[in-house]
Amino acid sequence: MKFSILVPAYNEEQSISSCLNSLISVAYDDKEIIVIDDASTDHTVQVVEEYLSKGVILVRRKINGGRAAALNSGLQKATGEVIVTTDADTIVPSNWLRRFNLCFEQQGVVAVGGSYQAKNKDKLLANVTSLLDIILNVVFKKSLVPNKLSGVNSAILRKELLNLGGFNENSWWSEDSELGWKLDKIGKVIYDRDNVVSTDYPDTWKNIWKRKFYWGYAMGLKFREQMPFNIKLWLRPMIFLALLLSLLTSLVTIPYGINMFLIPCLIFFFILSSLTILYIPLGIIVIVRNKERISVEAVFFLAVLPIVREFAYVYGMFLGFCKGRVGVIKPSWKEKIHHKDTESTEKKR
């Protein structure tokens, strides 16, 4: 089975060398690596050109169109039976494609998704955020998270992807989620949590908020348009809102005397809330297993980060569902609405 690895890139001169080195080192012979430069303004193209002699294929787009548009340009050049997607700031393990190949040996499998962790572990906030995602993937991925595919670590049968029309260029943030839902209707989508890649995580509170907000906003849009009766999508925001309202109700009624609802509400909040009872102890376990140093600051982040991230996600999902305005936050390349009818040229050895 041949794998075509698609790497969309825009102004990635600082990180794409590490990515390509890891892809070339993958222990699997029948593969091709296709980098799609989305009209970068830095030296990304020059860096990639140094790898053409090693078999890397470079597709150059004349107009910046966004991640999904870049992936579609790469899809047109791909010859493999399986399309694998990752990002230019990502490092993959040597057994990456072998694990994907084993999954596709199962009958009826049309796509496989893997997990991811922080590459920039020297940044405490990024590292703790990565640990929280590991916990989420281990505990909730098969129950509360309906999408098993991530843009940085997914493999999809090429024929099924083409039948679905490729990557949706109008889905400005959640093309992987939308694709996962569609594929799940026509075959088996597997999540391999042990197939882990390393990628850059947001390392500031602002970027963490933006990331989760946009994910929630995009999910709300898709929720409204396509899946309003999917109970799994309701569970996450409803649980969070119930927990938050129970606590706020208790705190607001305290000034009026003995609050008969305070104790049961607090018990409800702390027992059911994965943000406290689950995340902190599991986070400490993950820190120890990953041989990371436990600090007061790390434990504080484990307690606060889930609340901030869930609030941003639910708030974004609410606005997306109501078709509200995103506001003045300027999307990055991976967030922007994509242009159509772009041209591409191919540079190949």
Q: Are residues 38 and 102 in the same domain?
A: yes
Q: Are residues 104 and 252 in the same domain?
A: no
C-alpha to C-alpha distance for 9 and 198, rounded to whole angstroms: 16
Q: Are residues 149 and 259 in the same domain?
A: no
Question: Does residue 61 form part of some domain?
Answer: yes
- State the number of CA atoms in the 13 A half-sphere of 70 facing the CB: 34
Q: Are residues 33 and 89 in the same domain?
A: yes
**pLDDT per residue as tens digits for the range 68-77:** 899 999 999 9
Q: Are residues 161 and 110 in the same domain?
A: yes
Question: Does residue 91 form part of some domain?
Answer: yes
* CATH code, 196: 3.90.550.10
Question: Does residue 335 form part of some domain?
Answer: no
Lowest-pLDDT range of 101-110, 171-180, 283-292:
283-292
Question: Does residue 348 form part of some domain?
Answer: no
Lowest-pLDDT range of 61-65, 180-184, 210-214, 342-346:
342-346
In this structure, what token pair is assigned to residue 286?
């993950």
For residue 346, pLDDT over 70 is answered with: no
Question: Does residue 331 form part of some domain?
Answer: no
Question: Does residue 344 form part of some domain?
Answer: no
Q: Are residues 190 and 287 in the same domain?
A: no
Predicted confidence at residue 97, as pLDDT, reads: 97
* Inter-axis angle of helices 124-140 and 279-289, nearest 10: 110
Domain that holds residue 248: 231-321
For residue 258, pLDDT over 60 is answered with: no
Q: How many domains does the chain have?
A: 2
**Best-predicted range by mean pLDDT among 96-100, 224-228, 245-249?**
96-100
For residue 215, pLDDT over 70 is answered with: yes
- The sheet carrying 3-9 orders its strands as 188-199, 109-118, 154-157, 82-85, 3-9, 31-38, 57-61, 344-347
Q: Are residues 172 and 253 in the same domain?
A: no
Q: Are residues 195 and 235 in the same domain?
A: no
3-state SS, residue 36? strand
For residue 345, pLDDT over 50 is answered with: no
Q: Are residues 193 and 111 in the same domain?
A: yes
C-alpha to C-alpha distance for 153 and 160, rounded to whole angstroms: 18
Question: Does residue 216 form part of some domain?
Answer: no
Predicted confidence at residue 343, as pLDDT, reads: 36
On whether the CB atoms of residues 176 and 153 are closer than 8 A, the answer is no
Q: Are residues 50 and 164 in the same domain?
A: yes
Q: Are residues 196 and 309 in the same domain?
A: no
**pLDDT per residue as tens digits for the range 123-147:** 777 777 777 776 666 555 554 555 6
Q: What is the pTM of this model?
A: 0.74
Q: Are residues 53 and 180 in the same domain?
A: yes
For residue 329, pLDDT over 60 is answered with: no
C-alpha to C-alpha distance for 144 and 336, rounded to whole angstroms: 27
Question: Does residue 333 form part of some domain?
Answer: no
